Each structure stands twice: as C-alpha cells, then as structure tokens.
Amino acid sequence: MSEISLSAHKITDRLAKKEIKITILETVDSTNTYLKKSITDASLEGEVVIAASQSAGRGRLGRSFYSPNGSGIYMSILLRPQFSPEKAVLITAAAAVAVCEACESLGSKRAEIKWVNDVYINSKKVCGILTEGAINPENSNFEYAILGIGVNVFAPEDGFGADLREIAGAAFSDPEPYLRERLCAEIINRFMDYYSSIRNKDFLVEYKKRCFTVGKMVTVISGDSATDATAIALDDDCRMLVEYPDGEREYIASGEISIKPKK
Ligand code: BTN
C-alpha cells in the first residue's frame, strides 16, 4: 500500500499551471464542503482542495461517497463559470472525460462513463463526480461552482463494504508509489484544459464515445417515480434522449433525475 498521506510536491511538480493554489488535507468531512466554507470574493478559479480521506463524502442526490484513507483521492476544484448554471452538466461531463483519460494515461484498463457523472472500469464504478454551485440571485449567474471528484484509485485495504461490493471497484490493481498524486495532477491538468475552452465542448466526442448508457434499457428515476425506457442518444448539452415503451420520447437533463441501466 502506498503512503497514507498525499505528497503535495509530487502533485504540484506535475501541474501544468504552477500558479494553482492547492490545499492538501489528511482528512476532512467533505472537500466540497470545506472548499465552499473557505471561499471569499478573492478566491481564484482553479483553487484545489485534496484530501486523503473524507469522513462525510457526499454524492449526487443526497447519497454518501465512501472515502477511505490510503486508497482513493478526493478533491474539489473552485470554478467561476461564465455561462448559464443550466449548462453546469458540461463541467461534470468534461471532468468525467478528464478522469477517464487520466486513468488510462497511467495504465488503467479502458474507462467508460455512466451518464452523467460516474466513471467505470471493468464494469465497476471507480469514480463519482459532484458539481455544486451557488447562484447570484440578482442575475441568476454562477457565483461559483465546485467540482468534486472522488476516485477509488486502489481497492481499500479492508475491501468495499457489503453495500458497495457489487457496484464499486478500483481504477488500478497495483498500489504503485505516488500513483494517487500522479492521478491528481493528470486529472487537474486535463480538466483545466477542457474547462479553459468549455464553450467549444472539446470533450464531447470522447464523452459520447465512452458513455455506455446509450443503447441500454434504463429506469428513469425522478422523485418517487421510476419508469422503464431505452436510452437512445446524447445531445450536445449532454441531455439523454429516452424512449418510453409507449413510443414517447423525452430529453432528460441530469438535475434531480437519474437513470439506472437495467441488468
Ligand atoms: C457520486 O458518486 O454521486 C458523486 C461522488 C462525488 C464524490 C466527491 S469526493 C470529493 C468531493 N467531496 C465530496 O464530498 N464529494 C465529492
């Protein structure tokens, strides 16, 4: 097993943008929550918080994200998006592609995306992404967004709990030294690159190629309702076109809706 703590300079040495402010923590409740609390008007886009473990890691739709020590990376990036909050999914999608490419660049097996925010390797979830934001009530623009990325780099020492074993996996099988740090830097570099020209959607072709949800039978879950459908295609705003058994079609935006591929 690699060192439990993360080495700051093993990350910063590999960053393309040396001016990025990085805070490395041994443990925290949630890097998204920590970053949110620390934001001031002077906080700059690109600031990153990385933790070696989280005691209350958060996922989409109020779920928790298991964040044990020593085997994963848990990070949050502060963004000041200059586009409509309705397009926040583009941040998540660009990050998903950045994670896939970063893992593969360090020798993982092929990484794929479960719409909208999960990365899978060997048919197991190895990464979850949670983008949260604050909206300025006066103009409905973003005040800031926080991109949270959690990756199971290696399998946890005690394995995944019974509730996760079926779904969760690790991106790498061998705990090589400093792989967590190298992966952090690869993800940050690749994501910031896509984000700097996010309007061009340079990540979209890869996102569509890697999205294994398309073509599958899915359950569309919205609040208490769960409806069977077929995922037909993604549009250029990462909305999923689904077709219900009665032939009706609908574009689903990620928001509060999730879709679950049927086995
Ligand atoms: C999901 O699987 O639904 C998303 C999980 C997102 C987890 C990351 S870990 C870093 C950041 N801090 C959190 O509390 N959550 C995100």
Which pLDDT tens digit goes with each residue over 91-118?
999 999 999 999 999 999 999 999 999 9
Sequence-separated contacts (24+) of 105-112 with Cβ below 8 Å? 105/186, 106/172, 106/179, 106/182, 106/183, 106/186, 107/172, 108/171, 108/172, 111/171, 111/210, 112/210, 112/211, 112/212
- The burial of 43, by beta-carbon neighbours within 10 Å (0-12 exposed, 13-18 middle, 19 or more buried), is given as middle
**What is the model's pTM?**
0.95
Task: Indicate whether residue 63 lines ligand 1 (CB < 6 A).
Answer: yes
Token pair 């399998």 is at which residue?
155
Asked whether the predicted pLDDT for residue 252 surpasses 50, the reply is yes
Residue to mutate, 32, 78, 163, ligand 1, most ligand atoms under 8 Å from C-beta: 32
* Residue 210 CA to ligand 1 centre (angstroms): 21
Asked whether the predicted pLDDT for residue 202 surpasses 80, the reply is yes
Burial 185-220 (b: 16+ CB within 10 A, else e): bbbbbbbbebbeebeebebbebbbebbebbebebeb
Residue to mutate, 54, 126, 151, ligand 1, most ligand atoms under 8 Å from C-beta: 54
Overall average pLDDT of the 20-46 stretch:
96
Token pair listed for 250 = 């609908």
Asked whether the predicted pLDDT for residue 66 surpasses 90, the reply is yes
* Residue 214 CA to ligand 1 centre (angstroms): 24
Residue 208 banded pLDDT, cuts 50, 70, 90: very high
Which residues touch 119 (CB under 8 Å, ≥6 apart)?
Answer: 96, 99, 100, 103, 111, 112, 113, 125, 126, 127, 128, 129, 151
Task: Indicate whether residue 76 lines ligand 1 (CB < 6 A).
Answer: yes
Paired residues of 24 in beta bridges:
50
In this structure, which residue's CA is closest to atom 16 in ligand 1? 148
Per-residue confidence (pLDDT) for residue 259, from 0 to 100: 67
Task: Indicate whether residue 234 lines ligand 1 (CB < 6 A).
Answer: no
Residue to mutate, 58, 117, 260, ligand 1, most ligand atoms under 8 Å from C-beta: 58
Asked whether the predicted pLDDT for residue 224 surpasses 70, the reply is yes
Per-residue confidence (pLDDT) for residue 2, from 0 to 100: 45
Condensed to tens digits (0 to 9), the pLDDT of residues 172-181 reads 998 889 999 9
Task: Indicate whether residue 65 lines ligand 1 (CB < 6 A).
Answer: yes
Asked whether the predicted pLDDT for residue 124 surpasses 60, the reply is yes
Per-residue confidence (pLDDT) for residue 1, from 0 to 100: 45
Q: Are strands 48-51 and 22-25 parallel, antiparallel or unpaired?
A: parallel
Overall average pLDDT of the 186-204 stretch:
97
Task: Indicate whether residue 74 lines ligand 1 (CB < 6 A).
Answer: yes
Asked whether the predicted pLDDT for residue 244 surpasses 80, the reply is yes
Overall average pLDDT of the 235-247 stretch:
95
Overall average pLDDT of the 142-171 stretch:
95
Asked whether the predicted pLDDT for residue 18 surpasses 50, the reply is yes
Asked whether the predicted pLDDT for residue 62 surpasses 70, the reply is yes
Task: Indicate whether residue 114 lines ligand 1 (CB < 6 A).
Answer: no
